[in-house]
């Protein structure tokens, strides 16, 4: 007798198979709950590459890789050093917080990868090229002026262009070697007022973040605008020629999700990649489904951003975007994993992973006035909705006036560390949540090893952090006051964990960090 395929056991199996398949194909927005703003994405075959902004951090212009548009891994940086001057070296009381390199453009043309950016810190437009985007090496050309929020574009005839500007958008043709704007080439305003299509509730005059694409013979120019009384809005202009004329229309106005462009998948599915301002964690990437109607990309579902997407499920940001580090290195491994960036340019002679095996040593070579002006603070992103960063350090070689520990870096920072005053050592928590640093609590320390932890809660923009210390790495004591984290424009960046050590009186001291560990959870209260 034949067995029926409708056997109850088979039905149960089929049900769970369907449920599993559905969950495996359900991604959630934001696709990256971390500060990855100004994103630009290309597809090469079945692999996606994304560039982003990290401004004053070194190395800069991070490159991330994905095979599904959802799960990303850091694979490279376009540069180690943007430029060397007092501002980005944190010298003579100068800094370049909130500046450095801004919105980038990424392209693949004739077997070469191109990543371009611009910087008020250098006053130039920078174009980096490589044949191997994951391993390098990278070459650079740079020219003046710094073309604001530009989009690099190679047309079918081989000519290279940039579209740039704020509100008034200009198209310029580049020299064949991309070393500057071509004399006698195309140089014209193509959109007088990029914000005009969104003026139904007034306009702020903003019209930036240009990204241009060519689809089925037409040119599509994405920008962000911000209608007065409204929210960040995607505006798209369309033309039959790159020189125009362009017609524009609002494309998406929901949750403030805006600024980005278009990407297609091998199966012909289209998405728009954008980001959302989300408080202290920073500017976080979203994906929005796209359908084509009458030659226009239509963003969202019913004009709305979806919480879920028919894409592979998010696997988390650890270890692709952030990662723990025991500071042990095997032969052939990079000295620092790509998740780490220095706050401004480092002084490389003053840090080491070989001076003491299995430890990161941060030494002092000058005196500084504050955490924000301290050189060689090693950072990586915080992540949402919650996260914890912890570390252990040996303070045996600290000198009078030294301050070392774990910080949450932004203008309104918070930190916990060890401060040396004469022959005494104190555990200190400093809270600059109001914009002015206040020593919230201190206790004496009589041993050479101490453990610190910071917990961040970005759920529904709570944006609060708490600090802890431990004398044995097991029992944690809450310490200091709650830090109310605030995304400030002077820094223009989400909060970052930072390992720091700086001198205020004497140079030559050092501390040894045994590890840094990050988790996507916080302790239950």
Q: Any idea of the CA torsion for 313, 318, 319, 320, to the nearest 10 degrees?
A: 50
For residues 63 and 195, the model is more confident at: 63
Q: Under CATH, which architecture does the 341-519 domain have?
A: Sandwich (2.60)
How sure is the predictor about 18, in pLDDT bands with cuts at 50, 70 and 90?
very low
How large a percentage of the chain has pLDDT more than 70? 94
Q: What is the pLDDT of residue 347?
A: 97
Nearest Cα neighbor of 32 from 348, 381, 354 is 381
Judged against a pLDDT cut of 70, whether residue 7 lies above it is answered with no
Mean pLDDT of 463-490: 98
Assess whether pLDDT exceeds 60 at residue 83. yes
Q: Is the peptide bond before 264 cis (omega within 30 degrees of 0)?
A: no
Question: Helix H segments across 223-285?
Answer: none
- What is the model's pLDDT at position 338? 98
- Indicate if the pLDDT at residue 8 is higher than 90: no
Question: What's the pLDDT band for 67 if we cut at 50, 70, 90?
Answer: very high
Question: What HEC string does 321-343 produce?
Answer: CCCCECCCCCCCCCCCCCCCEEE
Please state, in angstroms and rounded to a whole number, the distance separating the CA atoms of residues 159 and 140: 19
Q: Are 212 and 222 in contact (CB under 8 A)?
A: yes
pLDDT tens digits along 176-201: 999 999 999 999 999 999 988 765 54
Radius of gyration of the chain (CA): 25
pLDDT value, residue 218: 98
Paired tokens of 167: 């509100």
Quickly state the pLDDT bin for 482 (edges 50, 70, 90): very high
Q: pLDDT over 90 for what percent of the chain?
A: 91
The maximal CA–CA distance of the chain, rounded, in angstroms, is 91
How far are the Cα atoms of 3, 186, 312, 445, 477 from residue 63, in angstroms, in the given order? 55, 30, 21, 42, 38
Q: By the 8 A CB rule, do 304 and 254 touch? A: yes
Is residue 16 over pLDDT 50?
no
- 1 burial (CB, 10 Å; 0-12 / 13-18 / 19+) is exposed
* Count of positions (residues) in the chain: 525
Question: What is the overall mean pLDDT for the chain?
Answer: 94
For residue 515, how far is the Cα from the chain centroid?
A: 23
User: What are the residue boundaries of the structural domains of the chain, listed by start?
Assistant: 27-309, 341-519
Q: Is the pLDDT of residue 20 over 60?
A: no
Of 523, 443, 513, 517, nearest in space to 479 by CA? 443
516, 353 contact by CB (below 8 A): no
Q: What is the pLDDT of residue 386?
A: 98
- Cα angle value 356/361/366 (rounded, 5°): 135
Using the predicted structure, report yes or no on whether residue 21 has a pLDDT greater than 60. no
pLDDT tens for each residue of 298-343: 999 999 999 999 999 999 999 999 999 999 999 989 999 999 999 9
> Looking at the predicted structure, is the pLDDT value of residue 239 above 60?
yes
What are the φ and ψ backbone dihedral angles of 354, each rounded to 5 degrees?
A: -115, -15
Q: Pick the range with the lowest mean pLDDT from 2-11, 214-223, 381-390.
A: 2-11
> If you average pLDDT over residues 76-104, what whole number do you get?
97
For residues 227-244, give the mean pLDDT: 93
pLDDT tier, 2 (very low <50, low <70, confident <90, very high otherwise)? very low
Report the alpha-carbon distance of residue 106 to residue 118 in Å, rounded.
13
| 250 touches 233 (CB < 8 A) | yes
Among 2.115.10.20, 2.60.40.1480, 3.90.110.10, 3.40.1190.20, what is the CATH number of 27-309?
Answer: 2.115.10.20
Contacts 24+ apart (CB under 8 A), 448-452: 448/394, 448/395, 448/396, 449/392, 449/393, 449/394, 449/395, 450/392, 450/393, 450/395, 450/418, 451/390, 451/391, 451/392, 451/476, 452/390, 452/391, 452/392, 452/393, 452/405, 452/406, 452/416, 452/417
The per-residue pLDDT for 315 is 97
Q: Are 394 and 514 in contact (CB under 8 A)?
A: yes
Per DSSP bridges, beta strands 449-457 and 208-215 are unpaired
Contact 378, 498 (CB under 8 A): yes
For residues 509-513, average pLDDT: 98
Grade residue 230 by pLDDT with cuts at 50, 70 and 90.
confident
Report how far residue 105's alpha carbon sits from residue 180's, in angstroms, rounded to the nearest whole number.
16
How far apart CA 206 and CA 226 sit, in angstroms, is 6
pLDDT band at residue 392 under the 50/70/90 scheme:
very high
- Stretch 248-273: mean pLDDT: 97
Residue 270 predicted with pLDDT over 80: yes
């Amino acid at each position: 007798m034949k067995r029926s395929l409708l056997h109850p056991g088979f039905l149960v199996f089929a049900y769970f198979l369907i449920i599993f398949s559905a969950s495996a194909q359900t991604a959630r927005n934001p696709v990256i709950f971390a500060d990855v703003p100004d994103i630009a994405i290309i597809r090469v075959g079945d692999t996606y590459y994304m560039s982003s902004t990290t401004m004053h951090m070194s190395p800069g212009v991070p490159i991330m890789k994905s095979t599904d548009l959802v799960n990303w891994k850091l694979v490279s940086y376009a540069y180690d050093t943007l430029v060397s001057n007092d501002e980005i070296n944190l010298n003579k009381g100068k800094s370049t917080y909130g500046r450095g390199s801004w919105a980038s453009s990424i392209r693949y043309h004739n077997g070469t990868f191109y990543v371009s950016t611009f910087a008020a810190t250098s006053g130039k437009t920078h174009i980096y090229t490589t044949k191997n985007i994951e391993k390098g090496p990278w070459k650079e050309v740079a020219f003046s002026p710094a073309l604001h929020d530009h989009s690099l574009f190679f047309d079918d005839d081989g000519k290279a262009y940039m579209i740039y500007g704020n509100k008034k958008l200009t198209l310029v043709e580049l020299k064949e070697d991309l070393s500057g704007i071509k004399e006698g080439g195309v140089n014209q305003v193509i959109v007088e007022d990029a914000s005009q299509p969104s003026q139904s509730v007034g306009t702020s005059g903003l019209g930036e973040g240009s990204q241009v694409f060519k689809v089925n013979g037409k040119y599509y120019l994405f920008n962000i605008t911000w209608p007065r009384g409204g929210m960040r809005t995607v505006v798209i202009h369309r033309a039959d020629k790159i020189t125009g004329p362009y017609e524009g229309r609002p494309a998406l106005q929901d949750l403030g999700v805006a600024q980005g462009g278009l990407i297609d998948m091998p199966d012909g599915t289209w998405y728009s990649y954008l980001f959302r301002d989300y408080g202290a964690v920073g500017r976080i990437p979203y994906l929005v489904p796209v359908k084509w109607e009458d030659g226009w990309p239509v963003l969202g579902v019913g004009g709305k951003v979806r919480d879920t997407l028919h894409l592979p499920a998010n696997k988390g940001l650890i270890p692709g975007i952030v990662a723990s580090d025991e500071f042990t290195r095997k032969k052939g491994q990079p000295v620092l994993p790509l998740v780490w960036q220095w706050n401004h340019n480092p002084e490389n002679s003053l840090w080491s992973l070989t001076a003491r095996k299995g430890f990161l040593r941060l030494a002092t070579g000058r005196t500084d006035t504050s955490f924000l002006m301290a050189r060689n603070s090693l950072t990586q992103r915080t992540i949402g909705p919650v996260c914890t960063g912890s570390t252990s350090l040996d303070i045996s070689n600290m000198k009078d006036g030294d301050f070392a520990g774990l910080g949450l870096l932004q203008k309104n920072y918070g930190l916990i560390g060890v401060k040396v005053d004469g022959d005494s050592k104190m555990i200190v928590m400093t809270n600059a949540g109001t914009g002015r640093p206040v020593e919230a609590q201190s206790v004496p320390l009589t041993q050479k090893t101490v453990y610190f932890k910071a917990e961040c809660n970005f759920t529904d923009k709570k944006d609060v952090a708490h600090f802890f210390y431990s004398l044995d790495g097991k029992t944690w004591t809450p310490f200091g006051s709650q830090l109310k984290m605030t995304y400030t424009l002077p820094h223009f960046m989400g909060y970052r964990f930072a390992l720091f050590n700086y001198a205020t009186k004497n140079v030559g001291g050092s501390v040894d960090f045994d590890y840094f560990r990050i988790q996507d959870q916080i302790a239950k209260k």
